Chain A
Amino acid sequence: MEATFLLTLLITFLASFIGYELISKIPQTLHTPLMSGSNAISGITLIAAILIYPEVGDSQILQIIVLIAIAFATLNIVGGFSVTGRILGMFKKND
């Protein structure tokens, strides 16, 4: 238990570090698509919703709340990637 938790913390730290290093190199021109793209990624919380949905049990209210979370996260993911693709398409044709 202890060891797994420490390992998770290490992964968190490494992911943040890699993210910081890579994102620092992204030019200003791409900051808007970076934002909308990373925004879409934050919808990954959908995974948590998928994992807990079968376990909420009989409570209808909780079930509805998870469904709301699923709707929000899906909208975030699909809309976010779609709009990022649109923005990046505008940069692509400049090549």
Chain B
Amino acid sequence: MIEIILLISAILFIFALKLFGRPSTAHRANSFAMLAMALAVFSAFNFDFSKYDSAFYITIVVSGLLGVLISKRVQMTQMPELVGLFNGFGGGASGAIAYVELSNTSLPISDVFVAIFSMVIGIFTFSGSLIAVLKLRGKLNNFSTKLGNIFSVFLPTILIIPAVLEMDTFLNEFIILVALIAGVIRVAVIGGADMPVVIAFLNSLSGIAAMSAGFIVNSIILIVAGALVGASGIILTLLMCAAMNRTLLDVLKGGFGTTNINNEYTKDPISTSPEDVAIELSYAESVVIVPGYGMAVAQAQAAVKELTNTLKDKNIEVKFAIHPVAGRMPGHMNVLLAEVDIDYEDMFTLEDINSEFSSTDVVLVLGANDVVNPLARTDEESPIYGMPILDVDLAKQVVVLKRSMSPGYAGIANPLFINDNAKMLFADAKEGLENIIKSFELV
């Protein structure tokens, strides 16, 4: 009976992933996954609910309610932090379980190795995720990469200590401590804009930790579900890395954008006003909006929607060009736009829209920088050389809405800003958009 429930659960998990493939069926995917999870958890009790005391049930109910509460309250712009936090919880849980199993002296030797693996990965995911959350909230500045490098040498050294001391008590606790510190330092040296990769990577690790916990307790469903999560995280990690033309190793090394490169501009940019932008937009037939992290920071989604409506009312075609690493997690911009009811049919990926820029009248860049930097195509010396970018500089007119000329994450100047076809509107994304919308009423 239990086996049949578990079989159904595993099949439902796989179907859920299949349904996730299209926006129109994705909400059903979530229901399938929830049902699969409920069946899997139910089967773990093996119809014997009396084995568990009240502390057990209270913990489940209270933390479940807390989970609902958090998820209802969180704002869409905080989604990367929330996913990061939950990653950490998942990893921490697997790590804790592995620790308890290791304390069980009757564990066969093969399981001991799996348990140590699960514990290290889980605890690393836990501390790394918490640091990632702090980074996303802007509470933690970049540690120097030097610290990371010192640690890379220090870590193997410290691991010899227990062997030398012939330590046999507190060995597991020692391993936990090392994994905790490793998670903190590894993530701390990586910059905020690389967090999409880090979050996806930690997501994968939380799946791998769960999968290996499945090996210890002999639960096939745990192995299957953990493997699915591990695979999903790895795919997203590799996609993000490819979108920056960097390797995972390079991202994890940290310190990106801290090298001092000549980022002076050879001439002053052309500054424009909200009124001029409104006039320019109203004469356009096609407009492409490129959202970046600046849109999320300024909470400008509602203003974007209003501008889109204004333009569409004038029969102007509006499209959104979304770079894979725009924002702080995979698909971040899409979610923010969906939040304000922008049709996902209007959101385009880099591959789909790049050929259209040369026939676009106006491109509006909203708080994005490195993902539209043409140096990625031309300057072999540039740290972003080879990164696929949105070719907005090919459009007839580019308006960049940005607070200042300050460089983006890569720490380099963006020659797009001083291009002949580009104008700068210096403002906060939300304020700037609202002023453009106001000016429309006067046009």
Contacts and interface: CB of A to CB of B under 8 A. Distances in A.
A54 B322 CA distance: 50
Interface string B181-212: 00000000000000000011001001101110
A68 to B, nearest CB: 6
Interface residues of A, number: 78
A43 B330 CA distance: 20
Contacts of A88: 26-27, 29-30
Interface of A is mostly: helix
B156 interface: no
A88 to B, nearest CB: 4
Interface in B26-53: 26-27, 29-30, 33-34, 37, 40-41, 44-45, 51-52
A31 B330 contact: yes
B33 A72 contact: no
Interface stretch (B140-148, B218-226, B414-422): B218-226
Interface stretch (B12-20, B368-376, B378-386): B12-20
B22 to A, nearest CB: 8
B213 A40 contact: no
Nearest to A88: B27
A75 B335 CA distance: 22
B206 A39 contact: yes
Given A59-B103, A74-B64, A45 B97 contact: yes
B174 interface: no
A23 B17 contact: yes
B223 A11 contact: yes
B93 A76 contact: yes
A37 B97 contact: no
A15 B223 contact: yes
Contacts of A27: 21-23, 349
Interface of B: 13-14, 16-18, 20-24, 26-27, 29-30, 33-34, 37, 40-41, 44-45, 51-52, 55-56, 59-60, 62-64, 66-68, 70-72, 74, 76, 79, 82-83, 86-87, 89-94, 96-97, 99-101, 103-104, 199-200, 203, 206-207, 209-211, 213-217, 219-236, 239, 322, 324, 329-332, 334-335, 338-339, 341-345, 347, 349
Given A42-B226, A43-B93, A52-B100, 4 more contacts: A12-B223, A42-B91, A69-B96, A78-B63
